[in-house]
Structure 1
Amino acid sequence: MSPTPENSAPDVSVVVPVFDEEGAAPGLAREIAAAFAGRNFEIVFVDDRSRDGTRAALEALKPEIPQLRVLSHTANAGQSRAIRTGVMAARAPVVVTLDGDGQNDPADGPALVDMLVAGGPALALVGGERVKRQDSQAKKLASRIGNGVRKRLLKDTANDTGCGLKAFRREAFLRLPYFDHIHRYLPALMLREGYEVAFRPVNHRHRQTGQSKYTNLGRLWASLSDLLGVMWLQSRARNPGGVVE
């Protein structure tokens, strides 16, 4: 597996936010490298001020995975900020994101990238939709309700915005207004900017180590204010349709 040359930008940047994932992160990094072998890629892990040995475990992998970069926040700022940090640091025009807990399958990433590229410049995002979710019944029920309400109110055509596995164009992402939890509203915000979005079924796996950083109740309260905010953004959008010179 050859590293990306220093003077050559990669074609794909895989961005992974992590917080207290010492057990999952090293294996996940190896899986990503194997999934994208043969492509010109980089892997950008963003450690959101973990309290365990996540950063050290990843740093130790650099000799084994030369495409690996490890960025670290000096203060915990949340998943959305970690994703944004990684996207801003990414050197490729196409970005793949996935959760750091190992439940997203990196093997699905290349197919999302291929679908995005084949869709042309108007297609800005391909989101994964988890099939046979390996979560508790309570979590799946809460997600089903939340996705249904969000889809009805925002008309974003997405069945599963909670899936961390997505491929998108870096330039399009950086055009979006940033706020905490933005990663759950990328389809709606991409559509607001006049882009197209698409979705593809992806695998979902059991969490093998660590524990979830979210609770159903905590996510509910955040979702209510986020939904109102995104609805307001949609109401204030005006699309020029195109720009000519």
Structure 2
Amino acid sequence: MNQALTIIVPVYNEEENLARVRQEMERYMAVATVKTGVLFVNDGSQDQSIDLIREICSQNPAFQYINFDKNYGLSAAIKAGFDHVETEFVGYIDSDLQTTPMDFDLLLSHIGTYDLVTGVRSNRKDSFVKNMSSTIANGIRRSFTHDGMDDTGCPLKVIKTEYAKRIPMFKGLHRFLPAMILLQNGKIKQVPIQHFERIAGTANFGVWNRLLGPLMDCFAYLWMKKKYINYKVADKG
């Protein structure tokens, strides 16, 4: 069976989490409903993350990696993953493992009908301030995009690769992936998933970049939406 799903794992200074990422990914791949591989994207980490990633990949061919020459940000890491993936489906999960790869099968069960399936973090285990800032940011995005999604920032998604590769990425666009699928006349769905406390490492996003960043990105999205080119080929010869 050919590999059908590649899971992108962006990494920035997550050396304390990578052993657990490998363990949880291998546990999922052993029971996954489709053949699955993992693509680490090291976003210029300044700790020992890349050394650990290289070790993991050398020991298991289901793991591969891309290593940036410096830190470019989460959107660039996801974009690089989309550019390099060759499987039918592409997934995305954060390396802090506040979501579990075991829930990918929940999303995959809907991907035949939909072009993007995203998780909704139920019973979130974050602080009150983080939950409130995320709720406000999601409300801002939803008012601009009208995508109907309750948790666009959820770090657990599955997308049909043909749609993912057509997304014109810019900084901050990782927050707008469902909206970008709608611009392609694709279909999207949200599914409740599990959420866990971060048990190692440090979060890379604070309150202000959860609020001000999304607001600024909304205006960039509106400009891009106005200029977006979308077409379908009827036939060719």
TM-score interval w.r.t. the shorter chain? over 0.9
Q: What amino acid maps onto 1:160 in structure 2?
A: D
How many residues end up aligned between the 2 structures?
233
Consecutive unaligned residues in structure 1, runs of 5 or more: 1-7
Q: Does 1:81 align with 2:84?
A: no
Q: Distance in 2 between matches of 1:154 and 1:91?
A: 29
Deviation at 1:62, TM superposition (A): 3.1
Q: Does 1:209 align with 2:197?
A: no
Q: How well do the aligned residues superpose, as a CA RMSD in angstroms?
A: 1.7
Counterpart in 1 of 2:18? 25
Q: Does 1:37 align with 2:16?
A: no
Q: What amino acid maps onto 2:185 in structure 1?
A: G
Counterpart in 2 of 1:4? none
Counterpart in 1 of 2:57? 62
- From 197, 215, 223, the equivalent of 1:224 is 215
Q: Is the 8 A contact 2:134 2:210 kept in 1?
A: no
Q: Is the 8 A contact 2:4 2:36 kept in 1?
A: yes
Alpha-carbon displacement from aligned partner over 1:27-68 (angstroms, at most 9, x marks no partner)? 112211211225422110111111111111122223543301
User: Residue 244 of structure 1: SS of its match in structure 2?
Assistant: coil
Q: Does 1:244 align with 2:234?
A: yes
Distance 1:154 1:57, change over 3 A: same
- From 165, 181, 191, the equivalent of 2:172 is 181
Pairing 1:107-146 to 2, within 5 Å after superposition? 107-117=102-112, 119=113, 123-146=114-137
User: Residue 159 of structure 2: SS of its match in structure 1?
Assistant: strand
Q: Is the 8 A contact 1:96 1:113 kept in 2?
A: no
Q: Distance in 2 between matches of 1:58 and 1:156?
A: 35
Distance 1:64 1:186, change over 3 A: same
User: Residue 115 of structure 2: SS of its match in structure 1?
Assistant: strand
Alpha-carbon displacement from aligned partner over 1:150-193 (angstroms, at most 9, x marks no partner)? 11221011000111100001110111211011111011111111
Q: Is the 8 A contact 1:36 1:110 kept in 2?
A: no
TM-score, length basis structure 1: 0.89
Q: What amino acid maps onto 2:221 in structure 1?
A: V
Deviation at 1:238, TM superposition (A): 6.7
Q: Distance in 1 between matches of 2:160 and 2:59?
A: 28
Deviation at 1:10, TM superposition (A): 1.4
Q: Distance in 2 between matches of 1:29 and 1:211?
A: 19
Distance 1:239 1:77, change over 3 A: closer
Q: What amino acid maps onto 1:211 in structure 2?
A: T
Q: Is the 8 A contact 1:9 1:91 kept in 2?
A: no
Distance 1:239 1:207, change over 3 A: same
User: Residue 60 of structure 1: SS of its match in structure 2?
Assistant: helix
Deviation at 1:96, TM superposition (A): 0.7
Q: Distance in 2 between matches of 1:194 and 1:204?
A: 30
Q: What amino acid maps onto 1:37 in structure 2?
A: A
Q: Distance in 1 between matches of 2:36 and 2:230?
A: 34
Deviation at 1:110, TM superposition (A): 2.0
Consecutive unaligned residues in structure 2, runs of 5 or more: none
Counterpart in 1 of 2:7? 14
Q: Distance in 2 between matches of 1:216 and 1:81?
A: 21
Q: Does 1:46 align with 2:41?
A: yes
Q: Is the 8 A contact 2:9 2:93 kept in 1?
A: yes
User: Residue 98 of structure 2: SS of its match in structure 1?
Assistant: coil
